[in-house]
Amino acid sequence: MISQAGTGGGGLLTPFLMNALLEKYGFRTALRIWSIALIVISTPLIYFIRPRLPISPVSQNPRYGLNFLKDPGFWILQVGLACESLGYFIPTIYLPSFATSLGLSPSMGTMLVASVNASAVFASVVMGMLCDRFHVTTVILFSTVGATLAVLLFWGMSTALPLLCIFSILYGFFAGRFVSSNAGIIKLIKGRDQSVDVGIMLRVMSAARGLGSIVSGPLSEALMRGSHWKKEAGFGYGSGYGSLIVFTGVTTAFGGVSFLGKRLGWIR
């Protein structure tokens, strides 16, 4: 969980660096600089990557460790993961422009994104600890309720900086379990079948998250194009971002579908 928290830690600094690069060089040059920096910084670290266990010289059955694909509980958890990923990144993408639409400076938008990522640092550790003590679906329900309320109440009701700050902190904390709950899912599935290949299972979960993230781009763009409820609804819902706020809240709520699966006995 500490390693996952590093994602939020990097996200705390990245918005300020990117904002400075964009203002000075424009987006084309800024993206080239950022790409080169990632290659230069990350490539040497490959040398330090080691397998957790020695590679076995004995050939393995290619079907080994794939029994989790037959587990309906795993797929319910996957559905929740994919649903939440549809809206997970939308706040960090649109918060700067939303803040600007309220008359706030671009630096305030950057600060809001940094606040989301800073809260996610603590969330990764706290939610990981909770997954060690409670059933993963209980932790998912707890974070889902918190993140959904943060979106629909604080973002949806925002017309000034104070509520946006509260939203950024709460959303970053509750939605920050998005990655850390993977450990709880692995613990649940692995506890029922020790033959499960954790590496493959992580790849499948990452694929669900990536699929939702890819689809969210065109969807959010289409929602913004319509400018639904602009000047027709109150508070943030009438800012032109209302459909995005509702979409994020609904997809976040559907991310907790695994708790319903547990109540129905589909997840043990």
What CATH code is carried by the domain that includes residue 215? 1.20.1250.20
- The answer to whether residue 53 sits within a structural domain is no
Which of the listed ranges 56-65, 119-128, 129-138, 245-254 does the model predict with the highest average pLDDT? 245-254
Predicted TM-score (pTM) of the model is 0.81
Domain range for 147 is 2-48+66-263
* 171 in a structural domain: yes
If DSSP codes are grouped into helix, strand and coil, which group holds residue 84? helix
DSSP 52-65: SSPPPSS---TTTT
In a domain, 251, yes or no: yes
Residue 14 has pLDDT above 80, yes or no: no
Query: What pLDDT score does 227 carry?
Result: 65
Total domains, the chain: 1
Note the pLDDT tens digit of each residue in 75-99.
Answer: 999 999 999 999 998 998 899 899 9
